[in-house]
Structure 1
Amino acid sequence: MDLMRIEPQTITHLQEWLGKSELLTDTVTAAPVRALSATLDRDDPSPISGSFLPELWHWLYFLPHARESEIGPDGHPKRGGFLPPVPLPRRMWAGSRIQWLAPLSVGDDIQRVSTIKSVIHKAGRTGDLIFVLVEHQISNQHGLAILEEHDIVYRDASGPDDKPVAPTAAPEDAVWSKTITPDDVLLFRYSALTFNGHRIHYDRKYVTEVEGYPGLIVHGPFIATLLVDLVRQSIPGCKLKSFEFRAIRPTFDINIFKVSAKPDLEKDPSGKTIAIWAQDHEGWLTMQATAVIA
């Protein structure tokens, strides 16, 4: 039976955030580019002014800089501010849809205008879910470069009687694949690069004893970055026009996982639409994505 824990007046209050915007500015510096290349174990040339910023690496910029006194018990900034103060303990990056209109380069001065586009409440099997859709428009000195829609889902903590969602088997016809062996250091380095204090990614005692997971959780955007990196490795020199992904199941650091891809010839005989996915050590689908290359 569906559970309802959030009062209607709370939903109404959260929807007051609709249309709220914020403007952030940054500069595409070289140091995070070098650091992510090392984290991905890539042998890239050292970035210099004018070097192309690979797709999704804009996530290295516009980082949240909450003061230490503003951090909540889970390591995230306390609720409120730009994002609505959803009274549910678990917050996850559920997916994104991104279009590249023009390239970004090292040395660019960039700005991001973010807008809350929707706040939707749903009653699920295990209680309330709140879906927040944020639109990001990223520009450099030449104009608009990236359009991104970011899906955030908030949910209650799992209860002892909750049953896991039935898994979906990953495709078995990959053309390109890579096995990833996650560990504490890999996850810590990505958390540090993105200034992400969320304890589920580095605090094993917290994630197992408080949140009830079996291990550290691999960041959703890091998996998405690995998916795009697989395409970059498999089709050298390609540039992406668009990318979308949806997180399906959490990935933990206690087992290997695999990223895979293939041209989706049924959808696009030209071979420019790439189906990409991640799967866990048991072959269950954990992330599903599509890229379109130029």
Structure 2
Amino acid sequence: MTTATPSATPPAPDDHSAAVGRTETRRGRIDPERAAALAATLDLDGIPGDGRTLPPGWHWLYFNPFVRRGEIGADGHPRRGGFLPDVGLPRRMWAGGRVTYHAPLPLGAEAEKRSTITDVTAKSGKGGRLVFVTVRHAIHAGGTLCVEEEQDIVYREAAVPGAPSPTPAPAPEGAERSEEVVPDPVLLFRYSALTANGHRIHYDRAYARDEEHYPDLVVHGPLTATLLQGLAARCRPGLRLHRFSFRGMAPLFVTAPFRIEAKAGTEPDTLDLWACTPGGGLAMRADVRFTP
């Protein structure tokens, strides 16, 4: 279900405020087989945790629209102009978000996800026009609010062939735990399939290079964020992850291994986490708060 209130006057080109308040509701089952498939994709022995509830970050497997082929755009995403507004920019990326885990989300449960567009803001950056869309998601199961999330989506202008890539900031130092991740095309393809993510930069090397001008296939931001949450759980066994905030800083590619790292935060029961590019740059930064 999608609802929106029409604007009384024609908006300015960068005014997409009519989309604010638009809602969408999706219902489905938290299928254990899909969670088991992600565990296999990540080369895990089984679903982490107690095996009865979803680990942090794994809710991104569910409630994703699988649209008809005729409704897919050239980039593999659903065509613009549905729930998310058509802002007139060709490139769409998941820039970051904030997730609060209020209660465990049981495997096998019937659940509902209600999404609301809370903000649309146009800006100008070094790469041209940008439009940021913030979406609030709330997932309920059995009448209980389990997961609450704010998702930041950024729309950008088309990539310029030959333009130099920005140099990422250096990753933090002083990691107390560091793990290597070796990405490959099969990992990216399987994660795309499990999350119904058709964006071709993750599995179509020719498209990634020739159309969006990346050097190779791009690792999904949500996949990196999921790996960071798994690292956090291993750092603090016995505690429940309550809140996770993350922001993508630079892309990661299948060309070389990268590292995910963590160290204690400045407050009790917190962690600072990040993902490093192969050259030591900051690819993603995140922070976690735990509860007993």
Compute the TM-score of the two structures, normalised by the length of structure 1.
0.91
Mapped to 2, the partners of 1:21 and 1:197 lie a distance apart of 22
1:92 offset after TM fit, Å? 0.3
2:273 equivalent among 269, 273, 276: 276
Determine if the alignment matches structure 1 residue 58 to structure 2 residue 55: no
1:140 offset after TM fit, Å? 0.7
1:26 offset after TM fit, Å? 1.0
1:36 equivalent among 28, 35, 38: 38
> What do residues 101-142 of structure 1 show as CA deviations (whole Å, max 9, x unaligned)?
111111211111110101000011221000000000111103
Letter in 2 for 1:205: A
SS of the aligned residue for 1:93 comes to strand
Mapped to 1, the partners of 2:276 and 2:36 lie a distance apart of 28
Determine if the alignment matches structure 1 residue 95 to structure 2 residue 96: yes
Q: 1:86 to 1:253 in 2, by over 3 A?
A: same
Q: Which runs of 4+ in 1 moved over 6 A?
A: none
1:170 offset after TM fit, Å? 0.7
2:115 matched to which residue of 1? 114
Cα RMSD (Å): 1.9
In the alignment, is the contact (CA less than 8 A) between 1:34 and 1:46 conserved in 2?
no
In the alignment, is the contact (CA less than 8 A) between 2:60 and 2:195 conserved in 1?
yes
SS of the aligned residue for 1:10 comes to coil
State, as a whole percentage, how many aligned pairs show the same letter. 46
Letter in 2 for 1:31: E
Mapped to 1, the partners of 2:220 and 2:157 lie a distance apart of 19
> What do residues 139-182 of structure 1 show as CA deviations (whole Å, max 9, x unaligned)?
11032111100000000122247453342111121111111111
1:11 matched to which residue of 2? 14
Mapped to 2, the partners of 1:65 and 1:45 lie a distance apart of 24
Structure 1: stretches of 5+ with no match in the other structure:
1-7
Mapped to 1, the partners of 2:14 and 2:225 lie a distance apart of 31
Mapped to 2, the partners of 1:59 and 1:193 lie a distance apart of 9
Mapped to 2, the partners of 1:177 and 1:153 lie a distance apart of 29
Mapped to 2, the partners of 1:136 and 1:77 lie a distance apart of 19
Q: 1:89 to 1:204 in 2, by over 3 A?
A: same
Determine if the alignment matches structure 1 residue 248 to structure 2 residue 249: yes
Mapped to 1, the partners of 2:189 and 2:156 lie a distance apart of 24
Compute the TM-score of the two structures, normalised by the length of structure 2.
0.92
1:5 matched to which residue of 2? none
Letter in 2 for 1:9: A
1:189-200 equivalences under 5 Å are 189-200=190-201
Mapped to 1, the partners of 2:49 and 2:101 lie a distance apart of 20
Structure 2: stretches of 5+ with no match in the other structure:
1-10
1:293 offset after TM fit, Å? 1.0
In the alignment, is the contact (CA less than 8 A) between 2:65 and 2:196 conserved in 1?
yes
Mapped to 1, the partners of 2:183 and 2:192 lie a distance apart of 13
Letter in 2 for 1:257: F
1:15-164 equivalences under 5 Å are 15-44=17-46, 51-160=52-161, 162-164=163-165
Count of residues in Structure 1 that have an aligned counterpart in Structure 2: 282
2:3 matched to which residue of 1? none
Mapped to 1, the partners of 2:20 and 2:125 lie a distance apart of 23
Q: 1:133 to 1:45 in 2, by over 3 A?
A: closer
SS of the aligned residue for 1:132 comes to strand
In the alignment, is the contact (CA less than 8 A) between 1:129 and 1:155 conserved in 2?
yes
In the alignment, is the contact (CA less than 8 A) between 1:30 and 1:47 conserved in 2?
no
1:280 offset after TM fit, Å? 0.7
In the alignment, is the contact (CA less than 8 A) between 2:161 and 2:213 conserved in 1?
no
Q: 1:45 to 1:70 in 2, by over 3 A?
A: closer
Letter in 2 for 1:153: V
1:210 offset after TM fit, Å? 1.2
1:293 matched to which residue of 2? 290
